[in-house]
Structures are given as structure tokens and as C-alpha cells.
Amino acid sequence: MNYLLHILIMINIYMILALSLNLLVGYTGMLSLSHAAFYGIGAYISTLLIMQKGIGFIPAFLLAIAGTTLLSFIISIPSLRLKGDYFVLASLGFQIIIFTILYNWVGLTRGPYGIPGIPRPNLFGIEIDSILSYFIFSGIIAAFCIIFLYLIGDSPFGRVLKAIREDEIAAAALGKNIVRFKIIAFAIAAGFASVSGVLFAGYMRYIDPTSFTLMESIFIVSIIIIGGTGNISGPLVGTALMIILPEILRFLRIPDAIAANMRQIIYGLLIIVILRHKPQGFSGEYRFE
Amino acid sequence: MLIQLLANGIISGCTYALVALGFGLIYNTTRTFHFAHGAIYTLSVYLFYTFFNLWKFPLLAAFILALILIAMLGILVDQILYIPLVKRGSSLLIQMLSSLGFYIVLVNLIAMIYGNETKVLSPGIQPTYNIGSVILTRIQVATGITFVLLFVGLAIILKKTNLGKLIRAMRDNPQLISVLGINPRKIRLLVFSIGSALAAFAAILMGLDVGVDPNIGMAAILNGAVAVIIGGIGNFEGAALGALLLGILQSLAIWKISSRWQEAITFLVLILFLLFRPEGILGKRRRIEETAI
Amino acid sequence: MSILELQNVSKSFDGTKAVDGVSLGFDQGKITALIGPNGAGKTTVFNLISGFLRPDEGAISYQDKNVAGLPPWRRAQMGIGRLFQDVHLFERMSVKDNVLAAFKNKFGESALMSVIARRKIEKKERTHITEALKLFDFVGLTDKANELAENLSYGQQKLLSIARLLANGAEFLLLDEPTAGVNPQMVGALLEIIRRLTKEGKTIAVIEHNMNIVIEIADWVYFMDEGQVVSFGLPSDVLGDPDVRRAYIGL
């Protein structure tokens, strides 16, 4: 039962990551490889505030979102003027730079040693310390995030994002300030990613930079490629699929030593096959083309 | 001290350059961000390891065999991965993402078969040479010489032969190629085989120098891509120049700051170039539209 | 009365002057045609007016305001609308969404408001939908409202472009070869729409290669060749000018 709850908690965490990246990739058409960086920044900001400054969970949570969103401007403002391919490369560069900082600024983050002993969230005196309660807690947060992201996407704002994805020139000729919309979309995506980070830290009770690497960014991108983008169901389906799949391998008694590799091979194959034969993913609206 | 650092930097730049030249060749002619190049790089040295260390082939035979197989594999990757996507009119983004998928598959296959630990290819201390005030190991010297030979060879092919002219034509004006009645497939075959072979040279030399593990490909391909952008896209001398500069920059960074920040500095330089000089040092400013949107 | 003016505007690319010291004016409520051989600089002029290019020299003023430094989106908000030769629609969105996206909707196009002020936004959406339906009637696309833009015929795509410009509140429309590639039956409908727009006070600038159409609808003509304005005046005068005939092969 705990095992099942663990899976569901991870699904909650990754759903938020996938849906927020979807706003950037599926709606606005910008492929970002730096999502894991914001995931990590959220985790570190909240953890450090709670453990070193003694700040309560809720303020730390909110400050983590604010901090990550502000940091996103440092990345987005210079690079959002870059064209397609170059933007992807810049986002890749930022991802690696942020990882390197998290890994090497040992004085701040304890680098590769990680931060253990992260307390479970304490809301108004109630400590969320059982797996079941964490599942409910993360589920409620995820539900709110899904609702917010849905409201943001299914609106005139979301429509402008899609217009930008379809044809920037036309959107500009119709009076849309392209760069401003992109910066806002990027900030929203980063903010929600940080929510996942806070949830992750509070659940695992230990974080280190190796959870927030380039490969992790690529993993999140794969979720929305495979599940589909441009709508709500795609990322949800993708998350469920990608989280449950490795567990199926475990059931097949594949030795742990090669299970990790096996999992990656399946991801890689899925990416290739989906892009070749079903570019809208299992359940998406926007065809990668 | 400085000179030794510069020398080390130049030599590692030579390795990057071999990767960058191959990557750049492929990118310039096909516009594909061939992420899988990193997997090809990794596979070449593992193949060499199999032939040389496991099956005890003589060095040269192992080398040549690995080279040939990798060149063929490079062509195969293009045929089964990219060409079907190109035929369908898929965007370059899709090709890049598929390439990434292929990288993930191949590298993990290698890890499954050979294990994740570092393998040493040439045990023992290497003989060194004193050149002026600089000390270089035999492999470093071999790397430097190999790079120069291959660079000159590539330059001759590209500038003096008809084949080279076709490759350059495809780089500058892909549509013209089919109009002239030349089969772009043939050129793709060439650039993928040459590019992959170059990666194999780089990988095997690096393997003999420091050993291998399944993850070396990522760093190699990223360094190669950064080198191409710094040096100038569309310009194969640029790729080499960018790589050498990158090698020197990293060497200096290790000296002045610390090797831990090497990656961050590399990508900071990349971002600065993307923002302020996207055409690279030697590239021509491709003014598409000044869409100051 | 001139609503938009170019004064001595020049623009070079790689050393070649695409537009060389050009001065033009567009009168309000009139249809002004820009004609000339390919490469004369006509589309460049349109790009300069709409902001997709910045002039190297010269001044561009719209409603007496200097616009030369403003980005395209700003000029669009001021009322300068652009119809592109290669249409530039939001292809994978429906006709309806194409037009809805075109309405000026500063309040609605906010992520924050989408969450906290949903009802107000939905109310505005409903008014926009009503206006959109009127626009569909105007251009004749009513039965295609839910069709994806990429599935329309070329001529219908042009009509959609015009509908979008109108939804956007464009007062000065730059139409780049509006009739090119459109089947002859639709050309008539297009011209009729263009005429009706001027009756509503809109100003039209049109790049046209079909001289019959120019004679039929233009109030004023500028003839450009090699980046310069060579001749201008009433259509019959300009088209009757032997220099123009000589430069413009195929008259």
C-alpha cells in the first residue's frame, strides 16, 4: 500500500512539472531544457529557508515560488529574443550552469553531500508525517496546480500563447508583445516547477543536486512528448505512463543493476517511436512537426 | 606553468576539434543537431575496447576496424532515424529530439553490456616527451598530430575536390543540390561517415588517454556543439578554432578558478556568444530578417 | 489629408539600397497603390511602415507621430494593420480562434486575470464572439468558423487575414498583393470588401501587380523602381506614362 502511495505521490509531483512545461512547450512553442533547474531551485530555496532560517513551511513555500520566478527572469529576459534552436541551446546552457552552482557552491547547498533531515511540512501545527497524509497533501496541491494551469491555458491569454507558437510574425502584426508574453509564460512555468521542488523535498526529506540534472530536464520533456502537449490530458497521461512504466519493470523481476538502463532504453525508444509515428503523443493536441 | 597549461588546453582542444568538425560537418549540410553523435563517439571507443582489450587484436587493426564500423553506423543512424523524418517534412526540432532519444538508447545499451564503471584501455604510465619547456604524454602528442593530419586532410577534401565542392554547396544552398541533379543522399552518406569517423578518432584517443565510461559522450557532444557555435556555424575552420579556444579556456579556468566550475564557464561562454555573437568568431552574419518583434 | 508619411526613407541590405530616399504619403480614407517590378522595394516599404524593418535614414510618421523606432506590435496597436503575401495565419487554430485572438483584449490576455477574474473575461469573450460572427459575414466565411485555418483555400485564408485585421481595429491597412493567387470569382468579392472598408473611413495601401485592378480601385498610385519612387499620381496618368510602361514589362 505504501508502495502504491509512493507512486501516486511521485505522479503528483511530476504532473505539476509536466503541465507547467507544457505551458511553455505545448502552448507557446518554446522548448526549454532548463525545467529541472527550476525544480531544483524551488527545492533548495524552501529547504534552506526552513532548515537554516527556521521559517515555517507556508512562508518558505511561497518564498520559494517567488524566488524561483524572479530567477527565471534572469534567464528569460536575455534568451527569449533568441530564435528556436538557439533558445533551446541557451536553456541547456542555463540548466548546466545552475546544476554546477548547486553542485559546487558547497557553502550554500552542501553540494554533492546533499541536505538530509528535511522536516515534513507543518501546516498550522499539523505535521504531515505519514505517507498517506503526504499523498493527500500533494494531491491537493497538484489539484490546485492543475486547475490554475487549466484556467491559464484555456483563456484569451492561452490563446495568445498558441498564436505565438503558430506564427510569431502574425501575432506581432496583431499587436501582441511577443517577448512579454514569453517572459510571463516562462515565469509561470518556473514558478510551478518550484512547487514540485518543494513537494519533492518535503517528501524525500533529502535533496542533492543529482535529482536536478540535464537528464532530468530531458526526462520531463520526454513526458510531454510521449503523453502529448497543447492540452491538459497529454501531460497527465504522459506522467502516469512514465512513472508507472519503470515499476512494471520491477514487477518483471529485472535485476536492479540493469533496470535503470532498461528504463532509459524504453524512454528513448518511446521518444523515437512517438515522434516518428504519433507526434501528438498519446493524448496531445499539438503535433510536434 | 602557463605554457604547459596552454599546451594541455590546445591538446584537449584538438580532441574537441575532431568532434566539432564532425558535428559541424553534419550540422552544416543537413541542419540536424546530431545529438546521437555523442552516442557514436561513445560506441567507437567501446568497440575499440572490445577489439583491443577484450579480443586482443593488434592496436592498428582494432583501430581501423572500429573506424570502419562506426562510419557505417553513422550512415545507418541517418538512414533509419533522420531520413524518414526529413521525408515526412518533420522540423529540425523533431530530428533533434529523436537524436536525443537515440543517444539515450545507445548509451544505456552500452552501459547494460559493459557496465557503468570506468574502463582503462592502456594501463601503466605513459611515456612522455619534452618539447621545449612543455611535457606531453605520447597520447597527447598522438592526438595533436592526428588532429593536424585530419584537419589538413579534411581541408584538402573540402577545398580541392569535387566532393568537397558538393558538400560546401549543400551547406550554402541545400535546394540547389537537387536542382543540379545531384543526389543529396550521397552527400549525406559522405558527411555522416566522415563525421562519425572523426568522432571515432577523438574517442579512441581520449579512451587511450583517460579511459572510458558510458557517459563520456554527453560531455563530448556538448563541448563539440559549443565549439561549433563559438567558432562559427557554417565554417569548418571555425569549428576547429572554436574547439582549440575552448580547450585553452577550460585549461585556464582550471588554473585560475577550479576544475569544478569548468562546465559552468563553458556554458556561460556559449550563452554569451548566443546572445552577442551568434554567428561565432568566423561565421558570417546571416541576416535573415531584422524582425525586431 | 495624409495619415501616414514616409520622408526620405532609405534602407540597405548588405550594401544594396533596397529603398532609396523614398517619400510617400497615404491619404485618409483613400486607396493608394504601390506598383513596380519585382525587387523595386515595395514590400520593403511595407516592412518599414509596419515595423518589421527599421529605416537607416528618414522619418516615418503615422497620425503625426513618429513611429520609426517602434516595434511592430506597438504600431499594430496604433492601428497599422498588415496583410502578408504569405498570409501568416495561425494554422492549427480554428478560423474563429484566429479572429478572437486578433481582438484587442489587454485585460483578458492576462494570466492572473484568467484565474481571478474569469467571469468578466468570459463576458468579454461573448461580445467578441458576436463581433467575430459579424466579421465572418462581412468577409463571407460564416460557414467556416470552426474550420482549422490551414484547411482553407488560399483565397479564404486571405479573407480570414482581413477579418483578423478588422478585429484588431486596424485603421490603416497594408495589403501586400491581396489578389495574388486568388481565384477570379473571389477577386471581385475581395475588391468589394476593400471598397467598403474605405467607406468606413479606413485607409488602404495596396501592393498590386494586376494593372486592371489598380485602375479599378486605386485613388492614387506610386510607381517604384530600384528602390525609388519614379512616378506618382492618378492611376490613368501613371499607367499612361511611357517611362513607367517601359520600366514595367508586360503592360
Instruction: Report residue A289's pLDDT band, with 50, 70 and 90 as the boundaries.
Output: low
Please, which residues bridge with residue C34 across strands?
A: C207, C222
Partner-chain residue, chosen from C50, C74, C97, that has the shortest CB–CB distance to A159: C97
Return the residue matching grid coordinates 583501430. Answer: B63
Three-class SS state of C167:
helix
Select from B57, B39, B37, B36 the least CA-distant residue to B48. Answer: B57
Contact B268, A101 (CB under 8 A): no
- Cα–Cα distances in angstroms (integers) from residue A207 to residues A119, A194, A212, B37, C155, in the given order: 12, 14, 9, 32, 58
Q: Give residue B198's pLDDT.
A: 95
Phi, psi of C94 (to 5 degrees): -75, 165
Three-class SS state of A190:
helix
Q: Give residue B285's pLDDT.
A: 62
Identify which has the larger pLDDT, B163 or C93. C93
Phi, psi of C13 (to 5 degrees): -125, 125
B18 is a domain residue: yes
Q: Which grid coordinates belong to B191?
A: 558527411
pLDDT, mean over chain B: 88
CA angle, B216 then B219 then B223, to 5°: 140
pLDDT, mean over chain A: 91
Q: Give residue B291's pLDDT.
A: 39
Contact between chains at B287 and C13 (C-beta distance less than 8 A): yes
pLDDT digits (tens, 9 = 90+) for A204-238: 999 999 999 999 999 999 999 999 888 888 999 99
Three-class SS state of C22:
strand
pLDDT digits (tens, 9 = 90+) for A137-190: 999 999 999 999 999 999 999 999 999 999 999 999 999 999 999 999 999 999
Q: Does C74 contact chain B (CB < 8 Å)?
A: no
B119 is a domain residue: yes
Query: Containing domain of residue B68, as a range?
Result: 13-216
Q: Does A186 contact chain C (CB < 8 Å)?
A: no
Q: Give residue B235's pLDDT.
A: 81
Here the ipTM equals 0.91
Alpha carbons A132 and B247: distance in angstroms, whole number: 52
pLDDT digits (tens, 9 = 90+) for B22-54: 999 998 888 888 999 999 999 999 999 999 989
Low pLDDT (below 70) residues in chain C: 248-251
Partner-chain residue, chosen from A100, A179, A275, that has the shortest CB–CB distance to B94: A275
Q: Give residue A146's pLDDT.
A: 95
Q: Does C138 contact chain B (CB < 8 Å)?
A: no
Contact B98, B82 (CB under 8 A): yes
Find how far residue C118's CA is from the centre of its chain: 34
Helix A57-79 / helix A178-204 crossing angle, nearest 10 deg:
140
What spatial distance separates the first Cα and last Cα of chain B, rounded to whole Å? 49
Residue B289: pLDDT above 60? no
Beta-sheet strands, E only, within C148-219: 172-176, 203-207
Alpha carbons B16 and B203: distance in angstroms, whole number: 10
Helix A84-104 / helix B92-114 crossing angle, nearest 10 deg:
40
Please state, as a whole number, how many other Cβ atoms lie within 10 Å of the Cβ of residue B257: 12
Residue B176: pLDDT above 80? no
Q: Which of residues 36-95 of B touch C (CB under 8 A)?
A: none
State the DSSP H helix or E strand holding residue C58, giving kind and residue range, or none if neither. Answer: strand C57-62
Report CA torsion sign: C176, C177, C179, C181: negative
B266 is a domain residue: no
- What's at B156, amino acid-wise? I
pLDDT digits (tens, 9 = 90+) for A66-90: 999 999 999 999 888 888 788 999 9
Q: Which grid coordinates belong to C21?
A: 530616399
B143 is a domain residue: yes
Instruction: Report residue B292's pLDDT band, with 50, 70 and 90 as the boundaries.
Output: very low
B53 is a domain residue: yes
Using the 8-state DSSP alphabet, how is residue C148 labeled? B
Please state, as a whole number, how many other Cβ atoms lie within 10 Å of the Cβ of residue B6: 17
Strands C220-225, C228-233: pairing kind: antiparallel
Chain B residues in contact with A160 (beta carbon < 8 A):
none
pLDDT digits (tens, 9 = 90+) for B196-222: 999 999 999 999 988 899 999 999 999
The backbone region for A105, taken as left when phi is positive above 0, alpha when psi lies in -120 to 50, beta otherwise, is beta
**Shortest Cα distance, chain C CAs vs residue A223, angstroms:** 22
Neighbours of chain C (3+ CB pairs under 8 A): A, B
Contact between chains at A265 and B94 (C-beta distance less than 8 A): no
- What's at B200, amino acid-wise? A
Residue of chain B minimizing CA distance to C44: B289
Contact between chains at B97 and A86 (C-beta distance less than 8 A): no
Residue B287: pLDDT above 80? no
Contact A201, A47 (CB under 8 A): yes
Phi, psi of A187 (to 5 degrees): -65, -40
B25 is a domain residue: yes
Query: What whole-number percentage of chain B has pLDDT above 70?
Result: 95
Buried b (16+ CB within 10 A) or exposed e, C168-204: bbbbbbbbbbbbeebeeebbeebbebbeebbeeebbb
The mean-pLDDT minimum among B107-111, B156-160, C174-178 falls in B156-160
Rg of chain A taking only CA atoms, in angstroms: 19
B278 is a domain residue: no
Alpha carbons B63 and C124: distance in angstroms, whole number: 70
Q: Which grid coordinates belong to B180?
A: 543540379
Q: Does C14 contact chain B (CB < 8 Å)?
A: yes
Contact between chains at B90 and A279 (C-beta distance less than 8 A): yes
Beta-sheet strands, E only, within A121-260: 122-123, 126-127
Select from B238, B225, B245 the least CA-distant residue to B284. Answer: B238
Please state, as a whole number, how many other Cβ atoms lie within 10 Å of the Cβ of residue C71: 18
Strands C31-35, C220-225: pairing kind: parallel
User: Which residues 6+ apart lie within 8 Å of B30 measured at CB?
Assistant: B78, B82, B188, B191
B80 is a domain residue: yes
Alpha carbons C94 and C143: distance in angstroms, whole number: 12
Three-class SS state of C236:
helix
Chain A residues in contact with B100 (beta carbon < 8 A):
218, 268, 271
pLDDT digits (tens, 9 = 90+) for A22-75: 999 989 988 999 999 999 999 999 999 999 998 899 999 999 999 999 999 999
Alpha carbons A97 and C172: distance in angstroms, whole number: 47
Phi, psi of B238 (to 5 degrees): -60, -45
Return the residue matching grid coordinates 572523426. Answer: B198
**Shortest Cα distance, chain C CAs vs residue B174, angstroms:** 22
Phi, psi of A229 (to 5 degrees): -125, 180
Contact between chains at C52 and A157 (C-beta distance less than 8 A): no
Contact A216, A241 (CB under 8 A): no
Return the residue matching grid coordinates 490546485. Answer: A144
Strands C203-207, C31-35: pairing kind: parallel
CA angle, C28 then C34 then C37, to 5°: 180
State the DSSP H helix or E strand holding residue C13, giving kind and residue range, or none if neither. Answer: strand C2-13
Alpha carbons C62 and C85: distance in angstroms, whole number: 23
Partner-chain residue, chosen from C74, C97, C109, that has the shortest CB–CB distance to A157: C109
CA dihedral A165, A168, A170, A175 (to 10 degrees): 110
Please, which residues bridge with residue C2 across strands?
A: C27
Contact between chains at B293 and C14 (C-beta distance less than 8 A): no
Q: How many domains does chain B have?
A: 1
pLDDT digits (tens, 9 = 90+) for B72-95: 999 999 999 999 988 887 888 888
Chain A residues in contact with C121 (beta carbon < 8 A):
155-156
Q: Give residue B93's pLDDT.
A: 82
3-state secondary structure chain B: CHHHHHHHHHHHHHHHHHHHHHHHHHHHHHCCCCCCHHHHHHHHHHHHHHHHHHCCCCHHHHHHHHHHHHHHHHHHHHHHHHHHHHHCCCCHHHHHHHHHHHHHHHHHHHHHHHCCCCECCCCCCCCEEEECCEEEEHHHHHHHHHHHHHHHHHHHHHHHCHHHHHHHHHHHCHHHHHHCCCCHHHHHHHHHHHHHHHHHHHHHHHHHHHCECCCHHHHHHHHHHHHHHHHCCCCHHHHHHHHHHHHHHHHHHHHHCCHHHHHHHHHHHHHHHHHHCCCCCCCCCCCCCCCCC
Contact A32, A186 (CB under 8 A): yes
Chain C residues in contact with A152 (beta carbon < 8 A):
111, 114-115
Contact between chains at A175 and C77 (C-beta distance less than 8 A): yes
Contact between chains at C71 and B293 (C-beta distance less than 8 A): yes
User: Which residues 6+ apart lie within 8 Å of C159 measured at CB?
Assistant: C139, C140, C141, C186, C189, C190, C193
Chain A residues in contact with B103 (beta carbon < 8 A):
268
DSSP result, A60-99: HHHHHHHHHHHHHHHHHHHHTTS-HHHHHHHHHHHHHHHH
